[in-house]
């Protein structure tokens, strides 16, 4: 490894809910540096969540993120000319990143609505342990279980 590792930056909490994970999620949604647009999408989705579920949108979002976030992922490892899919435990930061990425991808894949509505629907589905993002997590777990025999290659 050349040079020194990058220092971990402290992220400021978002303005409305004062939560770091919401601020991170806004940054993941943001495209081309348009943070105000990303904030508008996320906050509108939170309002829709509170209208549809009659629950606190923060609790729904946090539970949905816990439901989506994986604890195991698959990494490719080359051993002796063969490529193995090795199951590896996931750190908590990476787990949140993967969960956010899957949630946003699932929302973007839906058609015919505004992004805030698609995001709200996907968060509600994840809260209820259903939807595309949950399916992605289950597929990852299935792959990890199928390749458990190669776990000794993890180092």
Q: Note whether residue 76 is domain-resident.
A: yes
Residue 155 confidence (pLDDT) above 80: no
- Considering the domain boundaries, does residue 5 fall inside one? no
DSSP code per residue over the chain: --SPPPPPPPPPPPTTT--HHHHHHHHHH--TT-HHHHHHHHHHHHHHHHHHH-S-HHHHHHHHHHHH--SEEEEEEEETTEEEEEEEE--HHHHHHHHHHHHHHHHHH--SS-HHHHHHHHHHHHHTT-SHHHHHHHHHHHHHHHTGGGGGG--
| 11 within some domain | no
- Residue 147 above 90 pLDDT? no
Geometric angle at alpha carbon 120, from 118 and 121, rounded to 5°: 65
Q: Is there a domain that residue 2 lies in?
A: no
- Is the predicted pLDDT of residue 129 greater than 90, yes or no? yes
pLDDT tens track for 29-78:
999 999 999 999 999 999 999 999 999 999 999 999 999 999 999 999 89
Q: Check residue 79 and give its pLDDT.
A: 87
Statement: residue 85 has pLDDT above 90? no
| Number of domains observed in the structure of the chain | 1
**Residue 84: pLDDT band with limits 50, 70, 90:** confident
Q: Which CATH number does the domain housing residue 106 bear?
A: 1.10.455.10
Confirm whether 99 is domain-assigned: yes
Q: What is the pLDDT of residue 68?
A: 96
In which domain, by residue range, is 60 found?
20-153
pLDDT of res. 69: 95
Q: Which residue has the tokens 């399916």?
A: 135
13 or 154, higher pLDDT: 13
Please indicate, yes or no, if residue 46 is contained in any of the structural domains: yes
The span from the CA of 143 to the CA of 44, in Å, is 35
Which among 53, 85, 45, 93 has a CA at the least distance from the CA of 69? 93
Is the pLDDT at 1 greater than 80? The verdict is no
Burial of 126 per CB tally in 10 Å (0-12, 13-18, 19+): buried
Residue 55 in any domain: the answer is yes
pLDDT, average across residues 84-105: 93
Take residue 94 and report the two structure tokens written for it.
């990476």
Q: Please report the pLDDT score of residue 118 as a whole number.
A: 97
Does 9 reside within a domain?
no
pLDDT of residue 154: 77
* pTM confidence score: 0.90
User: How far apart are alpha carbons 27 and 13 in whole angstroms?
Assistant: 11
Radius of gyration of the chain (CA): 18
Average pLDDT over residues 103-111: 95
């Amino acid at each position: 490894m050349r040079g020194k590792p990058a220092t971990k930056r402290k992220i400021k909490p978002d303005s409305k809910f004062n939560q770091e994970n919401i601020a991170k999620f806004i940054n993941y949604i943001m495209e081309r540096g348009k943070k105000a647009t990303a904030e508008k999408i996320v906050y509108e989705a939170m309002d829709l969540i509170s209208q549809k579920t009659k629950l606190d949108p923060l609790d729904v979002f946090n539970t949905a993120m816990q439901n989506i976030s994986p604890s195991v992922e698959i990494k490719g490892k080359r051993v002796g000319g063969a490529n193995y899919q090795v199951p590896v435990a996931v750190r908590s930061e990476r787990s949140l990143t993967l969960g956010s990425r899957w949630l946003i991808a699932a929302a973007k894949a839906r058609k015919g609505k505004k992004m805030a509505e698609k995001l709200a629907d996907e968060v509600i589905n994840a809260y209820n342990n259903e939807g595309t993002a949950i399916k992605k997590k289950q597929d990852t777990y299935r792959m990890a279980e199928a390749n458990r025999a190669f776990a000794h290659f993890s180092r």
